Structure 1
Amino acid sequence: MKNRILSLDIFRGLTIFGMILVNNNGNGEYSYAPLLHAKWHGFTPTDLVFPSFLFIVGVAIRQAFKNFDFQLTPSLRNKIIKRTLLIFLVNYIIFYFPFTNFDIHKLRYLNVLPRIALSYCFVSFLILKTPSKYLTYINVGILVVYWFILWMFGDPGVPYELATNAIGKLDIFLFGPDHLYHGNGIPFDPEGLLSTLPALSTCLFGYQVALFLDEKKDKKEDVLLNLWIWGILLIMLALAWNSVFPINKKIWSSSFVLLCAGLDMLLLGTIYHLVDVKGKTLWNEFFLVFGKNAILAYAFSEVLAIQMGHFMLPSGDSEINSSDWLYWHVFEPLFGKYNGSLAYAISFVLVCWSFCWVFYKRKVFLKL
C-alpha cells in the first residue's frame, strides 16, 4: 500500500509480539506481574496490548481510505462489510477448529476479533459520513455517555464491580450466561457488547492521530513533541477520572481509554520519530514480520495454543496438556518457576515468528 507508514507496521508488530507473549506465559501462577492483566481495577503493561491494536486499526483506517478519497462508494461500503464479517468468521474458525466438540449452545459470540471487527466497521462508516471537525466531540460524547450508562444501570453504590455492572447484565439478558466468558469465576465477558462502545473511542483516537500525522507530513520533526504533549495530557486526565470511574480494562472504562490512548501516543510518536524521521532500522525487520501479517500471526498463535491445550501427554500417574508438560518438564527444570514461565512465553513467540517469517520472506501477507 503506497500510503503505508513504516512505523505503524513496526508498532503493530510490537503489539502482536506483546499479545502473543502475554497470552502464552507457560504458567499463569508463576508469571511476572507485568505479564498478567490487572485482576479488576488497576493497570499493568499487559492491559495496554489489546487497546494498542485497536488504536492501530484506527490509524490504518485513515491510510487505507486515502485510496478511495474518503468517499463512501458502494464498492467501499461492501468492502467494509465484507471485512467485518470475515473477521468474525476467522474468530470462530480459530477458537472452534477443528469443530469436533463444537456446541452452538455454548458459542461465545464476542471476543477479541469481533471487537476489532465492530470497531473497524463503526469507525469506518463514522469517518466517511462525518466531517473531521466533529470527531473530538463524538469521542468525548462516547466516553461520557458510557460512564453515565454504567453509573445509572449498575447496582447502586457498586456500579463498576464484577457482579454488579451493566455490561454483564446486558450480555446475560441478550445472550445468556452460556455464551459468555467464564474465566473470572462468573459469566462476564471482557469483550461484552456494551463495553464495545468505549472500544470504538480507542479506535477513533487512532484515526485522529492519523489525521494529525497527515497534517504534519511536511513537518515530521514536530510529531514527537506534539504527540508527547497530547499523550501526557490524556494520561493526566485518565488519572484524575480514575478517582470516580476506575481504570479497568475488563469494563473498558473511559479512564482506561484515555490512559491507553495517551500511552499509545507516546509510543507511536517515539517510533515514528525514530523510524520515519531519523531513519533508524534496528529491529525493524523483526517486528515487520508480525506487523505486516498481524492476522496470520494472531491466528496461528491462538490455534497453536488451543491445540496444545487439547493434546495430552503422560506426566507421572496422570496426563497433562502439552503446554503444561513443556513448562514442568523442560522450562521449569532449566530456568525455575518464574523465569521458566517467561522462557516458555518467549519461545512460543519465536515459534510463531518463525512461522510468519516464511510468509514474510515470500511476500505472502494475509489480508481480510
Structure 2
Amino acid sequence: MNQNQRFLSLDVFRGLTIACMILVNTPGSWSHVYSPFLHAKWHGCTPTDLVFPFFLFAVGNAMSFAMKKFNTMSNAAVLGKIFKRTALIFVIGLLLSWFPFIKYNAEGNFVMKGLDTLRILGVLQRIALCYGIGALLVHYLRPKGAFIATCVLLLGYWAILWFFGGSDPYSLEGHIGLQIDLAIIGENHMYKGEGIPFEPEGLLSTLPAVGNVVFGYLVGRYVQQNRHARGMLLKLVLAGSMLIVLGILWGTVFPINKKIWTSSYTLYTVGIATLLLSILIYLIEMRNWRWGTYFFEVFGKNPLFIYVMSGVVVKLYFLFRLGEKNENMYSWLYNHVFRPAFGDYPGSLLFGIFHVLLLWLLGWWMDRKKIYIRV
C-alpha cells in the first residue's frame, strides 16, 4: 500500500456514503420509491439503512489519521479541539434544521420560523455527539480501553432497554428512549414522521451509535499499522464477517433496528462497512484501481459541506411556488419534468440521481479550486 495514497480508499468510501445519502434523501416523490431506497419500517435492515452507520464508520476511520497529532498536544488543547468540532457540527445541524428561517403561513405569506418547534436532534447532531464521545474514549482510554468501553455501551444499552422498557421494549411506544427524549427535549422539538413524536436520532440511541465511530477508528488504525503485513486484508475480511454473524445472532433476541439503533444493528453495519472498505483497499491501494474513483473522491473531500448543501438546496425548493396549482419547486420539478419524461418510479429515482450529479459538480468545482472545508 502506498503511504502517499493512504487516504484515497477512505475518501472513496466516505464519498460513496455521501452520494448515497443524497440519493436516498432526495426522491422525486416519497410515494414512488423503489424498496431498496426506503428505510425498514421498523425491525430489519435495507440497503438505505446502511448509509448513516457507514458515514459514522468513516468518521472513525478518519479519526485514526487525524488524532495522531493529539499525542503532541496538551490535554487542554485536545479537549478544546474535540469540543470545538463537536459544537460546530451540532450547531450546523441546528441551523440546517431551522433553515431557511422563514415559512409560509396559512394566508400564503412569509413569516419567521419560530424556535418553539425547532427539531433539536438530527443527522448532523448525531454525527457531532458520536464524534465527540468516540474521540474522548479513544484519546483517554486508548484503543483497548475504547474497545472495552464500546462493548459496555452496547451491552448496557441492551440492558437499559430490556429492564426499563415497556412490555415490548423494542417497539416504538415501548422504547425507553422515547420517554427520555420526551422528558428532556420535549415533543415540540422532536421528529414527527412516525405518527407520534419520536426521535430516530435520540439521546439514548446515540450510545450504541458511538460504536460505529469507535470501530471505524480501530479498523483505520489497524490498516495503518499493518499496511505492509501479510494477511492484513484477510484478517480484516474475517473480522468483518464475524461482526456480521454476531450482529445477526444477537438480532434474534435484540432485533436489528436502525430507528432505535440497536446494538445488533451496530455490529451488523460495522461488519458490512469493514468488508466494503476491505474491497476498496484491495482494489485501490493494492491493485491501483483508479477507474471511477474520482467521482466518489470528490464527495469524500468535502463530505459535511456537500451534505449540508444538499439539505440547503432541498429546503430552498420549498420557498418557491410555481404553476397554476401553486406547487413548491421540488414537487413541480418531479411532476412536470422527471415524471412525464420517465414515469413514476424511474422519474423519482432519476430526480435523486440528478441531485447527486448537481452536488457532485459543486464538489468538483471546489476540488479544482483546492477548496476543502474542514470543521
Superposition deviation, residue 241 in structure 1:
1.2
Alignment of 1:248-287 (within 5 A): 248-287=257-296
| Post-superposition CA distance 1:3-62 (Å, at most 9, x none) | 952100110000000000000011111110001111111110000000001011111111
Q: TM-score, normalised by structure 2?
A: 0.93
| Post-superposition CA distance 1:251-301 (Å, at most 9, x none) | 000111011000000101110111111111111211111000001110110
Maintained 8 Å contact 1:71/1:128:
no
Indicate the residue corresponding to 1:306 in structure 2.
Answer: 315
Q: What is the aligned counterpart of 1:92 among 85, 91, 94?
A: 94
Distance 1:358 1:139, change over 3 A: same
Maintained 8 Å contact 2:100/2:315:
no
Indicate the residue corresponding to 1:124 in structure 2.
Answer: 135
Indicate the residue corresponding to 1:217 in structure 2.
Answer: 227
**SS at the partner of 2:209?**
helix
Indicate the residue corresponding to 1:139 in structure 2.
Answer: 150
CA distance in 2, matches of 1:49, 1:325: 28
CA distance in 2, matches of 1:132, 1:16: 27
Alignment of 1:1-368 (within 5 A): 5-69=7-71, 73-100=75-102, 101-156=112-167, 158-219=168-229, 222-315=231-324, 318-368=325-375
Gaps of 5+ in 1: none
Maintained 8 Å contact 1:223/1:273:
no
- Percent identity over the alignment? 43
CA distance in 1, matches of 2:51, 2:257: 14
CA distance in 1, matches of 2:208, 2:184: 19
Letter of the 2:339 counterpart: E
Tell me whether 326-335 or 306-315 shows the greater mean CA deviation. Answer: 306-315
CA distance in 2, matches of 1:18, 1:222: 31
**SS at the partner of 1:105?**
coil
**SS at the partner of 2:249?**
helix
Tell me whether 340-349 or 64-73 shows the greater mean CA deviation. Answer: 64-73
Maintained 8 Å contact 2:90/2:129:
no
CA distance in 2, matches of 1:177, 1:45: 30
CA distance in 2, matches of 1:173, 1:288: 42
Maintained 8 Å contact 1:72/1:128:
no
Letter of the 1:81 counterpart: F
**SS at the partner of 1:127?**
helix
**SS at the partner of 2:116?**
helix
Tell me whether 98-107 or 344-353 shows the greater mean CA deviation. Answer: 98-107
| Post-superposition CA distance 1:126-149 (Å, at most 9, x none) | 111113222332221111100011
Letter of the 1:280 counterpart: W
CA distance in 1, matches of 2:78, 2:149: 23
Distance 1:4 1:79, change over 3 A: farther
Maintained 8 Å contact 1:296/1:356:
no
Letter of the 1:84 counterpart: T
Letter of the 1:108 counterpart: R
Superposition deviation, residue 365 in structure 1:
0.7
Corresponding pairs, count: 364
Indicate the residue corresponding to 2:106 in structure 1.
Answer: none
Letter of the 1:241 counterpart: W
Superposition deviation, residue 168 in structure 1:
0.8
Letter of the 2:282 counterpart: H
Q: TM-score, normalised by structure 1?
A: 0.95
Letter of the 1:14 counterpart: L
Maintained 8 Å contact 1:247/1:255:
yes
Maintained 8 Å contact 1:37/1:47:
yes
Tell me whether 103-112 or 67-76 shows the greater mean CA deviation. Answer: 67-76
Distance 1:19 1:251, change over 3 A: same
CA distance in 2, matches of 1:35, 1:175: 30
Superposition deviation, residue 309 in structure 1:
2.4
Superposition deviation, residue 357 in structure 1:
1.1
